Amino acid sequence: MRFFRPGAAASVALVALPVVALVQAAMWGAGDLWPHLVRHVLPQAAVETALLLAGVGAVVAGVGAGTAWLVSCYRFPGRRVLSWALILPLALPTYVSAYAWLDVMHPAGPVQSGLRALLGLTDPRDIPLPEMRSLGGCVLVMGSVLYPYAYLAARAAFDTQGADLLRAGRSLGAGGWRLLRSVGLPMAWPAIAAGTTLALLETLNDVGAAEFLGVRTLTVSVYVTWITRSSLEGAAQIALALLVLVGLLLALDGWARARARGGQAVREMVRPDLAPLPAGRGLLAALLCAVPAFLGFVVPGGYLLWAAWRRVAEFGLPPALGAWIANSVLLSAICTALVLPSALLLASNARGDGRPERRGVLDRALLRLSMFGYALPGGIAAVGMIVVLGAMDEMTEGLARWVPALSGTVGAVVLAYYVRFLAVPAAGLDAAYLRIQPQVDWSARSLGAGPWKTLTRIHLPQLLPALSASALLVFLDAMKELPATLLLRPFNRETLATALYAEAARGTYEEGAVAALALVVVSLPVIILLATGGRSRKTPSIRGAQRDPVGPAKEHSP
């Protein structure tokens, strides 16, 4: 769909602006810091970052795909409740979950205090529990919060794959692990890879949880270099090393997607039959699905509720709480409304005529380049935008009054959000397009449908599940974004994330718990609506979505 290439190129150009500014700052900035970074900072930070990515990736892919397979293909006690409860950890920012877990596992916290009281012990050293301030603790906390990225993508794939293939596999005696390995994973792999990639990019972007849990990642090194040395140039040089890791992740993601060669015909996109599990296995499946939701949401969320209740009972609600909520929702809604159309143009243009081997090099490059903004730490992306606006101010006298004002407005925050989160719907929609047979496009063109009509009347009804999931993820990510909001928000306009950060920085955790709990409460309705609403037994088919005489494609490979 080359018709959409100008819009796709414009979106990528906007994403590239802060990246170009960072490269310029790194290459032409102060060079005396680079040898020190190479000798003393980058090696350790690179190793810890790689280990963290490997651990989080394994947790996210394993937990996300495994729980999605159970709730999509089997019937067991509590399946309906657990199917949406597994999404709840997305409502918690990683840094909030890290704060809560550290207090929960602290020697004076509820876990160790309860165990000592139960066992009649007085010395905290008598209970050797795992140390949360470690690489393993960071993997556990971040994996328990980020696994829904892979869960949502995998479940969407399992719910819309060919049910006949699963029936055929079961009729041949395949079941359990063999059916998952031979049928489920090969069909859902592009979606699982996309969800896991997004979780890993979110891991690279995180600074609060990693720093709080004692893991010195490349992103933490960026902030330390920036804050302690006041060197934007040095921070930009470390950020370039981060971009190398991002390129590797995107290359692996692209390789995984390239192995997919289209999906099932549209008429066969029905949810698989639910196979009942025996009593013992059913309870085990329920336990396996309940543990991630318990660790990722119930424990940290329950602790936040308790801490917030203590604060409200003593001092009442913060008077500015309503303004914090309104600012957060407004910024997130504007970002979501701008990002989704741009991502749809990028994915549609990269699709070509529906065959992966026929996608042009330029179109695929535009799609991949659009994802680099997600890997930039939010604060660095914001500084890149400030550098760009400053350069525009110097080059164009007509903007001399307008540009400085933009850096402290809602528009500046939205621009930074756009750069950061365009990758979320772009990756999801690209994976969803792989499940639409190319024969659909060929039939539409043979009946005179142009690119725009094909997109709006044929593709969109089939992309609605992916669009809904993308809207949820963008909205929640924007709600939780902290560094960019801190640097670019208008003065005296706090969001829930910045209010929480300010209270945590002052050491008044119970004050921040109110903002953290409000952040969770505002996010929950969006998650519940997506998890429980709009799920029909069959995804929209061409005949059900529009009245054009374009029938479903026959089932054969292109």
Per-residue pLDDT of the chain (558 residues; tens, 9 = 90+): 455 566 667 777 778 787 787 777 777 655 566 777 777 788 888 899 999 999 999 999 999 999 998 888 888 999 889 988 998 888 788 888 887 888 888 777 788 888 887 877 777 666 777 788 899 999 999 999 999 989 988 887 777 655 555 655 565 555 666 666 666 677 777 788 888 888 888 888 787 788 888 888 888 887 777 666 667 677 777 877 777 777 777 777 777 666 554 444 434 445 556 778 888 889 999 999 999 999 999 999 898 888 888 888 888 888 888 888 999 999 999 999 999 988 888 888 777 654 454 556 777 777 777 777 776 767 677 777 776 766 665 665 554 454 444 555 677 788 889 888 888 888 888 878 877 777 777 777 777 767 677 777 777 888 888 888 888 888 888 888 877 887 777 777 888 888 877 776 676 666 777 888 888 788 777 767 665 554 443 333 333 333 333 333 333 333
Q: Phi and psi dihedrals of 369, rounded to 5?
A: -65, -30
**For residue 187, what are the β-bridge partners?**
none
Please count the other Cβ atoms lying within 10 Å of the Cβ belonging to residue 68. 30
Tell me which residue range forms the domain holding 317. Answer: 2-545
Whether 118 is in a domain gets the answer yes
Whether 234 is in a domain gets the answer yes
Please give the span between the terminal C-alpha atoms of the chain, in angstroms, as a whole number: 18
Coil/strand/helix, residue 538: strand
Contacting residues for 277 by C-beta, under 8 A, at least 6 apart = 74, 75, 76, 285
* 526/152 Cα distance (integer angstroms): 14
| Residues found in the chain | 558
* 351/401 Cα distance (integer angstroms): 42
In the prediction, which pLDDT does 555 show? Answer: 36
Q: What region, left, alpha or beta, does residue 437 occupy, with left being phi > 0 and alpha being psi -120 to 50 degrees? A: beta
* 423/475 Cα distance (integer angstroms): 13
List C-alpha distances in Å: 465 to 346, 535, 537. 18, 9, 13
The pair of three-digit structure tokens given for residue 250, joined into one six-digit string: 């995107």
Whether 555 is in a domain gets the answer no
Whether 181 is in a domain gets the answer yes
In the prediction, which pLDDT does 439 show? Answer: 73
Whether 438 is in a domain gets the answer yes
Whether 233 is in a domain gets the answer yes
Q: At what angle do helices 110-119 and 94-105 cross, to 10 degrees?
A: 20
CA 283 to chain centre: 30
Spell out a b/e string for 491-528, using b for 16 or more CB atoms within 10 Å of the CB, else e: eebbbbbbbbbebbeeeebbbbbbbbbbbbebbbebbe
Contacting residues for 411 by C-beta, under 8 A, at least 6 apart = none
- The owner of tokens 């809560």 is 100
Number of H helices, E strands in the chain: 30, 2
In the prediction, which pLDDT does 54 show? Answer: 93
* 466/464 Cα distance (integer angstroms): 5
Minimal CA–CA distance to 215: which of 369, 53, 71? 53
Q: CA-based diameter of the chain, in Å? A: 80
Instruction: Return the H-helix or E-strand segment holding 451.
Output: helix 451-454
Number of domains in the chain: 1
Contacting residues for 9 by C-beta, under 8 A, at least 6 apart = 366
Q: At what angle do helices 185-205 and 42-73 cross, to 10 degrees?
A: 140
* 548/546 Cα distance (integer angstroms): 6
CATH code of 231's domain? 1.10.3720.10
In the prediction, which pLDDT does 558 show? Answer: 30
In the prediction, which pLDDT does 545 show? Answer: 35
Whether 23 is in a domain gets the answer yes
List C-alpha distances in Å: 162 to 165, 265, 272, 410. 6, 8, 7, 45
Coil/strand/helix, residue 549: coil
Whether 328 is in a domain gets the answer yes
* 285/305 Cα distance (integer angstroms): 28
Contacting residues for 23 by C-beta, under 8 A, at least 6 apart = 236, 240
CA 456 to chain centre: 26
